[in-house]
Structure 1
């Protein structure tokens, strides 16, 4: 099963057929919304809207652990995530589709960002935070002009950046800015799931002197224009994706736990 996590503007996947709604509760609580399970391109797909139906959850309020756990319990082993982002570089104009390859975490530690803890210590590798195999699938499925590679700066929000912050992130060489890649990508890695993202550029944040500074209305307008393209890319990517059974992402949890095996038993 392939999982799809929809971000701002993508509250449903209307191309799914034979849809059933699954209510699920995990040991980490309930996910953002009930999961829609159906078929697309002959594949079974589980769709979850990240911010809840009606976009009710702030980025820091999203139950990331419950979302990833729920998808895994339903049988998902690879996730395609969609999110709206701002651009920190002239080359990524609003309307561009980007498949990021790196993340810089600028959140403040308030989000539950790991499945480890409670007496069990584990460390998964995150040198490449996105699945390289799934990234290639998204790039192949994307239209001409889809950008391969970008560093995603994840901020806490819900406020947008100050102009000074935006300029600082640009000086660091970061490419796009958003509020949800962390801890979603890391939790997928801990769960042994392949995870890749399609980022929809909506604005130039607030650094660009000749462009309008980012507002919620501006983001919503551009997302509405991009969401059809996003659905098309997702449908094609779902059709192309192989099971990925031999992918290194699946083996990431192996050897991650460094606590005494007796203490970690059953976790």
Structure 2
């Protein structure tokens, strides 16, 4: 199988230069339109696809991002590995603005989003005990280090609904009582959907601020965030450009089983499955259905 790297770019990352044979493509999905067209091309002989999560011009709020359509569209194009790049706040002094964190755990506090491709007529339960792919996360860590980025391996991401930032009380709870490391608004349900679609998923969180807990920084200021975002976006492009050489053109089976997540997940008996829902699952679950 051929490797195809899908990059979902977050706030500040709406374009990706340097792709050979670059072209924006419209992709139709049974779950509606994705956030934007998808930029496809190649880097070092490896196929890549770039999708701006909020759309070019930042038209989607975290709650309105069409997460199911985005993941389906990437899978439909042949993507095997998804790199999520997103802005975040930090709960740790050592995870400073400008640093990157390779997230390996999540606490999902979102509530206004569709979180599964499955449902009545075709029920499935996948494991997200380990919601990111260690192989892919290690490649992102190596690429970030090679790019000269201060990067932290491992961290728990608190996914909040937004669009408002945290209250001081919430920030203190997430940091002191729940042990979270960073906070953002977009990696959930994205990571869960990627697992349902049998895609390897890595989350690269780019720190822009210290949320509201930090006594020397006060409340989160969007102007400060945007300034840090611009620098982070340039670093993220450099990191992503190094991934094809690390991952290679040939895609071997995932040693952690991400690409086989549905093997024993579907509960509904074949004769009881809703044909209309099964038809919508053609890209994400076609291998198993």
TM-score normalised to structure 2 length:
0.89
Instruction: Tell me the residue number matched to 1:254.
Output: 263
**Partner deviation per Cα, 1:135-171 (whole Å, 9 max, x = no partner):** 0100111125310000000000000000000001012
Q: Which moved more, 1:256-265 or 1:52-61?
A: 256-265
1:17-32 alignment, distance < 5 Å: 17-32=20-35
What SS does the corresponding residue of 2:268 show, helix, strand or coil? coil
| CA distance in 2: counterparts of 1:194 and 1:41, whole angstroms | 21
- Asked whether the 8 Å contact 2:24–2:37 carries over to 1, the reply is yes
After TM superposition, the structure 1 = structure 2 runs for residues 183-222 of structure 1, keeping only pairs within 5 Å, are 183-222=189-228
- Give the Cα separation in 1 of the matches to 2:236 and 2:49: 16
- Counterparts of 1:1-267 in structure 2, within 5 Å, are 1-108=4-111, 110-143=112-145, 145-171=150-176, 172-242=178-248, 243-247=250-254, 248-264=257-273, 267=278
- Unaligned 5+ residue runs, structure 2? 279-289
Aligned with 2:142: secondary structure? helix
Q: Give the drift of 1:85.
A: 0.3
Q: What are the superposed Cα offsets for residues 76-105 of structure 1, whole Å, 9 maximum, x if unpaired?
A: 111111000000111211111110000000
Q: Output the CA distance in 2 between the equivalents of 1:41 and 1:200.
A: 25
Shift of 1:238: 2.5
Kept after mapping to 1: 8 A contact 2:84/2:187: no
Separation in 2, partners of 1:152, 1:31: 24
Q: 1:244 offset after TM fit, Å?
A: 4.2
User: SS of the counterpart of 2:63?
Assistant: helix
CA distance in 2, matches of 1:249, 1:166: 32
CA RMSD of aligned residues (A): 1.2
Tell me, yes or no, if the aligned pair for 2:121 and 2:274 is still in contact at 8 Å. Answer: no
Q: Deviations over 1:229-263 (max 9, x none)?
A: 11111111232114443111000011101111212
| Cα distance in 2, alignment partners of residues 50 and 263 from structure 1 | 35
